[in-house]
Amino acid sequence: MAVIEATPQNFNELLASDLPVLIDFWAPWCGPCRMLSPLVDELADEMSDRIVVAKCNVDENQDLAMQYGVMSIPTLVMLKDGKEAMRTVGAIPKPKLVAEVEAAL
């Protein structure tokens, strides 16, 4: 499944998913975000039957970032049944990312 661009217009629809939603809060100018982005894309492909993956550009969607208390980027937040089930801040290696996501499922 492709990564979905999270916006205020589609955010409620994203949260209505039966699957947990992993949101990557990022910005194009952020070096660690650019490092983490391919790993998030791989996760979206590898776990498409278990999670929905979305990316939220914090420059374009400041209200969503504020709503979820994003202070630093990259921040990954997993929402399960509308509640936060996992949060990581900063670029992390793929094995750690997979372990965090698995633990939250």
Digit-coded pLDDT (tens) for 6-32:
999 999 898 888 999 999 999 999 999
- What are the structure tokens assigned to 100, written together? 């965090």
Name the CATH superfamily, with its identifier, for domain 4-104: Glutaredoxin (3.40.30.10)
Query: Which one from 33, 47, 70, 92 is the annotated catalytic residue?
Result: 33
Q: What is the pLDDT of residue 81?
A: 87
pLDDT digits (tens, 9 = 90+) for 49-72: 999 999 999 999 999 999 999 999
Q: What is the pLDDT of residue 88?
A: 96
Going by DSSP bridges, is the β-strand pair 4-5/83-89 parallel, antiparallel, or unpaired? Answer: unpaired
Q: Mark whether 33 is an active-site residue.
A: yes
Q: Mark whether 56 is an active-site residue.
A: no
- What are the structure tokens assigned to 71, written together? 């202070």
Q: Break the chain into its structural domains and give their ranges.
A: 4-104
For the purposes of burial, counting CB atoms within 10 Å of the CB of 3, is it exposed (0-12), middle (13-18) or buried (19 or more)? Answer: middle
Of 7-16, 72-81, 88-97, minimum mean pLDDT range? 7-16
Q: What is the pLDDT of residue 82?
A: 83
Query: Which one from 6, 30, 52, 97 is the annotated catalytic residue?
Result: 30
Q: How far apart are CA 95 and CA 87, in angstroms?
A: 15
In this prediction the pTM is 0.93
